[in-house]
Structure 1
């Protein structure tokens, strides 16, 4: 069997004008996935979701990041914090899913932790002379907020999110991404590799065909702009018309002029935060591998606060959510077909279109991370 890392290194050595899609092995090889988990997901910042979904003290969500169970919560002082989701006693996981809690209680022996991770109480431990409550604290995980997004990392040396994504902020500062409110959040699991879904988001070349039943007819390939990416992200843009009013800048929005008022940014923040940002609404996917053949998806979205007081705002967003659900189903079908195809013996990568520049940039990023870990 060919070494997937070597195949990828050869694949990305060509200039974009001669580039091909990534080789099948990088999607199907278990050993390559282990390298991704250790050199990408255990090292880079991972997006948990929107900060306004954790707005109240005790609001929490849980995740597994590169095999490590993590809690992210809002503490009693209003600060966002992340910590290990593993009890310091007999090592059970603690919280599940998302919700609100006054304390973190172990479901195995009821050891109870405060929202800062300190141990509050431990039943029936008075006869162990070596036990001291103050010795126990859930290990901290780095957590930062950026433009309304919550990120965590297992890497103590990773540069701050704001420093890494300063160029993104320069690109879309007039959208005021902090001023969007999430109105829905869901989780899904699809039968495809995480990179297949990430790449599907990164190019709009597929829109007229894969989304023929929904948005395909509104997608004009000649208006898509796909510039070179940067080390931590790539993007492309699409112009939209007023057939979907909440995709446009609100009349009260004086920050934007001209075509900017109808420009949609499709941002791919590495490794796996994918944001569709319009002047009126946003939606996003945050992806984590679940084996080579499945991906865990956090899917959410909402509206710019500019639209919050409009009498038809909720009606418009409900219509948009219905559309997004239909688009998601189309994407599910397309990406699962891609994974089935690239897993076959006859699979071989073809040349990329000029509209797939972000995919080329993504392959370069994956290769950089894998090679850096090997050296």
Structure 2
């Protein structure tokens, strides 16, 4: 794809409009395989992505795997207790090494048993002594940048990307009074939905759809007139909702005396570009981390947990069960919404419409995507 590609031209014309005249992004931006490839190279291979919560890897040898722009990656806790990122491809005949999640003392290739230490160095390789070019000490799995940012495992293929603490300093200024790093993840799941990753991201970014799409669940917990959708930051957008008392876990714990006034009941929705979507309340958090699988399918990492004071509450298991049941129901509602949107995007008679003032984050997201294109 070049700068003259129709999808890119349409996107740039779209974001050139002021917000007061903003329209939804062009259909081609969601449905074009060429545009999806451009996103893979210039967004997902270049930005910080989230592999979940750091507490998902508590012990040395704990690992998880992911794919970034087609690159297989291992994230593990090494013997020193540090997070480490490694290529998930053997340096011999290029088989992938680990799958899913688990715990290992070493990384053993299931093809020819080449074995790597947790720092990526090659420990052993059977029947290689007769090859004069083979030098075990010079072979190791390529390192991949990993950082723990406020309890989130952030990963990038880009050696020059500024650290998350620098680019996301605005998040600290905004919600630093809620110590995300002390919240505990209590569930983590993965699944695929039949939609474009941006459709799901945009669905998270706006709460305009809550009263209708989520009428049976959370639609009644918020008032559209009390939603605030300010202009976004360079690296993320956000909005917030002042919740009522219908879901106690979304409020500060009764024992919490640090939070005052609306701080005790504000729910923050943080969309950290490109694909980490966090709902953060004084009592719990949940998140989505998205990986595109072509234009019409997205892999979703879905997790959540509770703040330290709610975790310590004797009634925490009951509160958690209530929350998880609710979130599963909300996810089913969202799945229906975003898959219907993608089907509509692929229809011949569909056209993008005007954005509400409650969809300011979607406009900022479109501008960010355009800014990353060559």
TM-score using structure 1 length: 0.98
Q: Cα offset for 1:254?
A: 2.6
Q: Cα offset for 1:2?
A: 6.8
The match for 1:126 is 129
Question: Relative to structure 1, is the Cα distance of residues 144 and 213 closer, same or farther in structure 2, using a 3 angstrom cutoff?
Answer: same
Q: Cα offset for 1:219?
A: 2.4
**Secondary structure of 1:174's partner?**
coil
1:15 to 18, 33, 36: 18
1:53 to 29, 45, 56: 56
Structure 2 CA distance for aligned equivalents of residues 2 and 231 of structure 1:
25
2:221·2:246 contact (CA, 8 Å) conserved in 1? no
The match for 2:330 is 327
Q: Structure 1: state its 5+ residue gaps.
A: none
Matching of residue 199 in structure 1 with residue 214 in structure 2: no
Structure 1 CA distance for aligned equivalents of residues 197 and 346 of structure 2:
14
**Secondary structure of 1:175's partner?**
coil
78-87 or 307-316, which deviates more: 307-316
Matching of residue 296 in structure 1 with residue 299 in structure 2: yes
Question: Relative to structure 1, is the Cα distance of residues 35 and 68 closer, same or farther in structure 2, using a 3 angstrom cutoff?
Answer: same
Matching of residue 4 in structure 1 with residue 44 in structure 2: no
The match for 1:143 is 146
Q: Deviations over 1:287-331 (max 9, x none)?
A: 010010000000000000111221111111111100100000000
Matching of residue 233 in structure 1 with residue 231 in structure 2: no
**Secondary structure of 1:234's partner?**
strand
Structure 1 segments (4+ residues) deviating >3 Å: none
The match for 1:63 is 66
1:265 to 256, 264, 268: 268
1:244 to 215, 229, 247: 247
How do 1:279-358 residues align onto structure 2 when only pairs under 5 Å count? 279-358=282-361
The match for 2:181 is 178
TM-score using structure 2 length: 0.98
2:53·2:152 contact (CA, 8 Å) conserved in 1? yes
303-312 or 65-74, which deviates more: 303-312
Structure 2 CA distance for aligned equivalents of residues 210 and 343 of structure 1:
21
Q: Deviations over 1:339-368 (max 9, x none)?
A: 000111111110000000000000000000
**Secondary structure of 2:177's partner?**
helix
Structure 1 CA distance for aligned equivalents of residues 340 and 262 of structure 2:
36
Number of paired residues?
371
**Secondary structure of 2:228's partner?**
coil
RMSD across aligned C-alpha pairs, in angstroms?
A: 1.0
Structure 2 CA distance for aligned equivalents of residues 30 and 237 of structure 1:
34
1:87 to 90, 109, 117: 90
Structure 2 CA distance for aligned equivalents of residues 290 and 204 of structure 1:
26
Q: Cα offset for 1:253?
A: 2.1
Q: Cα offset for 1:249?
A: 0.7
